[in-house]
Structure 1
Amino acid sequence: MTESDFIPSGDYQVLPAGSVSYQSPSNIALVKYWGKYGEQLPQNPSISFTLSNCHTTTTLSYKKNSNSSGEIPFEIYLDGEAAPDFKPKIAKFFERIAIYMPFVKEYEYKIETSNSFPHSSGIASSASGMSALALCLMEMERGMEVAMTDTFFNEKASFLARLGSGSACRSIEGPLVVWGKHAEIEGSTNFYGTSYEGEIHEKFHNYQDTILLVDKGEKQVSSTVGHDLMHGHAFAKARFTQAHENLSSLMQVFKQGDVDQFIKIVESEALTLHAMMMTSHPYFILMKPKTLEIINEIWAYRNETSSKICFTLDAGANVHVLYPENEKESVQKFIASELSKFCQNSHYIDDCVGNGAKKL
């Protein structure tokens, strides 16, 4: 599939007023996407666990637009309150998708959204939010088409979500999603995320993720700014090569159930992401002192108990603690007794790998 395959041809049935709701999860990358080109295309492939409990619920209400100004009128609400700060990003999203969904210009919208986690807390609210909105719009398009396969629906939803937030394209399906062309993964593409179809050992089934909320505030650096810093970065080329190699290694890890090698790759990927930020121009340190304390506590616990616990990070201070389901009870006791004290207001979220978005 290419971009042109998502441009509709011919007429479509005009829908009356209506509404649709979707719940879409966040995701946590194991191999990180960092750096983009063109219109939200990745410089390297990535793979992520789809989460379950961290999700966004969005209701899209629509009616025919009587305004002929050419702009797409919409209102947006977060947890029942008007959210004008979101409007520029949503307006840009509508502008980008108009060629692929010409009907969007014919309606006006009310977008009502809520998160199961703190907004802008480093749990990729843009990923779950933009994917939920893309799915609602795809439900409109499906109502206008004579026939649409589920495969096409998911591919185009992921394609559109990417135009709102790159990582959002990995929140449509689950439990593992690949985004970006990789020579060893058939069907992988830069245009949308695809479910990982390789062999997955039972050790990685229902993997657990507890998110430690070290800092619930706004991110120090937006994802857009962070990705732009990869242009001209002294280590960018080596990083992109490393991501391809790490994804190849993870394919063997998933097949063989090698959790020790999984830990090495995932933790290295997290630290490499932050190393790229620390060596960019301008440079940023996104981890907080308590982030480092948590990492050291995890390493000490793993060394003392031979646990298969590990960590990963997104572009922020919060820590995702990953561990197999068979260690759920012991690791969660460790988190409650030793790691929660490093969290803001002792707040953390227990989550696990999920299967993607769902219509409500």
Structure 2
Amino acid sequence: MGQETFVYEFVGKKLTEGSFQWSAPSNIALVKYWGKREGQIPANPSLSFTLTHCKTITRLDFQLKEISGISFDLFFDGQSKEEFKPKIQKFFERIRPYCPYIDDYHFVIHTHNTFPHSSGIASSASGMAALAVNLMQLEQGLNPQMDANYFNQKASFLARLGSGSACRSISGAVVVWGAHSEIAASSDYYGVPFDGALHPIFQDFQDVILLVDKGEKKVSSTVGHDLMHQHPFAQQRFEQAPANLSRLKTALETGDLEAFIAIVESEALTLHAMMMTSMPYFILMKPQTLQIIEHIWSFRSQFQIPVCFTLDAGANVHLLFPKAHKTRVMEFVQEVLAPWCQQQHFIADEMGFGAQKIDL
């Protein structure tokens, strides 16, 4: 399915005003997306777990207006946020060819996160995904014949144009973004639910996010992606990622926790290795990040409990494990890992299933 499929064609109906509200979760990539081509196209495929509690909740109010053009107000945590508006403006400009009806309305966007903004927990992913599904709810009002599959695919397509990883926050517990020969219907344009038979051991996976640093990252993901263009190891990385996705697909289907752990941790460290070997180079991990990783390795070795870590583009650590071990692992988190977190804060999350409509 190509991009032209998502161009909206007016069907003769306009809504005058209304409001929608949706939540969209963050997601944590296990095979990392790092590097992109023009048009928010990923340089390699990625695979992620969708979360449940770390999410953005966005209400979209819309009103028909006489003067055509992009027009919106933005409120974050109840406060007007002018500094966030350029990113939303750019998003609207990018989706305008596919959603020309946005010129007909003035929008008021009210949004908030259940987790710290800009700290490496994919807040842009959940934020753009939440806005995209609200816009698709409007489009569905203009075109009531739209089916759920098209709704989700176009929502993912639109979300990608705001933040690449946002396309993995629309639907599915495990989502693949980027064309891959072993994933049916996979696409560079939108995320698709993992098409394999997910082994039961992975169906209730837990993710404890250890908040090492709740501040804004010193180097944005956008800058990091751009540095892959001239990166000395870019080509090797772009070959490694699809191979790792193939291996991870097998592990997810067979329940091979040992292989899962090896791939996921290697992917996390490779992501940060790319940052440390770019020019200019940068480090997003903190000393506490490394201490937590060392403790995770020690705990896994000592107790033979299948815990592992992954990292997003930030200092925080995601601790992944099967729900069957939750009681013992949470003791470990409280007693050993929490002291390395900022103000001992962490978020206990688990695998989720995507965006959800909230009745007003």
TM category (shorter chain) comes to over 0.9
- From 286, 289, 296, give the equivalent of 2:287: 289
After the TM superposition, list the runs of 4 or more consecutive aligned residues in structure 1 that deviate by more than 6 angstroms: none
**What pairs up with 1:262-281 in 2 under 5 angstroms?**
262-281=260-279
Which residue type is aligned with residue 273 of structure 1?
A: L
Percent identity reads 56
Q: How many positions carry a matched residue from both structures?
A: 358
CA contact (8 A) 1:287 1:316 kept: yes
Secondary structure of residue in 1 paired with 2:195: coil
CA contact (8 A) 1:170 1:178 kept: yes
**CA deviation vs aligned residue, 1:10-60 (integer Å, no higher than 9, x gap):** 434111110100011000000000000011010000000000010110000
Quote the Cα distance in structure 1 between the aligned partners of 2:39 and 2:170. 19
Stretch of structure 1 that moved more, 197-206 or 333-342: 197-206
Which residue type is aligned with residue 257 of structure 1?
A: G
Quote the Cα distance in structure 1 between the aligned partners of 2:126 and 2:356. 12
Quote the Cα distance in structure 1 between the aligned partners of 2:10 and 2:313. 43
CA contact (8 A) 2:11 2:143 kept: no
Q: 1:146 to 1:355 in 2, by over 3 A?
A: closer
**Corresponding residue of 1:87:** 85
**Corresponding residue of 1:329:** 327
Quote the Cα distance in structure 1 between the aligned partners of 2:218 and 2:266. 22
**Corresponding residue of 1:258:** 256
Quote the Cα distance in structure 2 between the aligned partners of 1:67 and 1:125. 32
Quote the Cα distance in structure 2 between the aligned partners of 1:12 and 1:261. 54
**Corresponding residue of 2:24:** 24
Task: Note the C-alpha offset of 1:8.
Answer: 2.0
Task: Note the C-alpha offset of 1:157.
Answer: 0.1
**Corresponding residue of 2:241:** 243
**Corresponding residue of 2:355:** 357
**What pairs up with 1:157-306 in 2 under 5 angstroms?**
157-306=155-304
CA contact (8 A) 1:220 1:316 kept: no
Quote the Cα distance in structure 2 between the aligned partners of 1:48 and 1:275. 20
Task: Note the C-alpha offset of 1:67.
Answer: 3.2
Quote the Cα distance in structure 1 between the aligned partners of 2:16 and 2:210. 44
CA contact (8 A) 1:37 1:43 kept: yes
**CA deviation vs aligned residue, 1:252-298 (integer Å, no higher than 9, x gap):** 10111000110000000000000000000100011000000000000
TM-score (norm 1): 0.98
CA contact (8 A) 1:26 1:171 kept: yes
Task: Note the C-alpha offset of 1:146.
Answer: 3.8
**Corresponding residue of 1:6:** 6
**CA deviation vs aligned residue, 1:76-108 (integer Å, no higher than 9, x gap):** 111111111110000000000000001000111
Quote the Cα distance in structure 2 between the aligned partners of 1:208 and 1:85. 34
Secondary structure of residue in 2 paired with 1:56: strand
Which residue type is aligned with residue 293 of structure 2?
A: I
**Corresponding residue of 1:132:** 130
TM-score (norm 2): 0.98
Quote the Cα distance in structure 2 between the aligned partners of 1:316 and 1:98. 32
Quote the Cα distance in structure 2 between the aligned partners of 1:254 and 1:24. 24
Quote the Cα distance in structure 2 between the aligned partners of 1:181 and 1:125. 24
CA contact (8 A) 2:11 2:142 kept: no
> Which blocks of at least 5 consecutive residues in structure 1 are unaligned?
none
Quote the Cα distance in structure 1 between the aligned partners of 2:276 and 2:128. 28
Which residue type is aligned with residue 84 of structure 1?
A: E
Quote the Cα distance in structure 2 between the aligned partners of 1:13 and 1:280. 51
Superposition CA RMSD, Å: 0.8
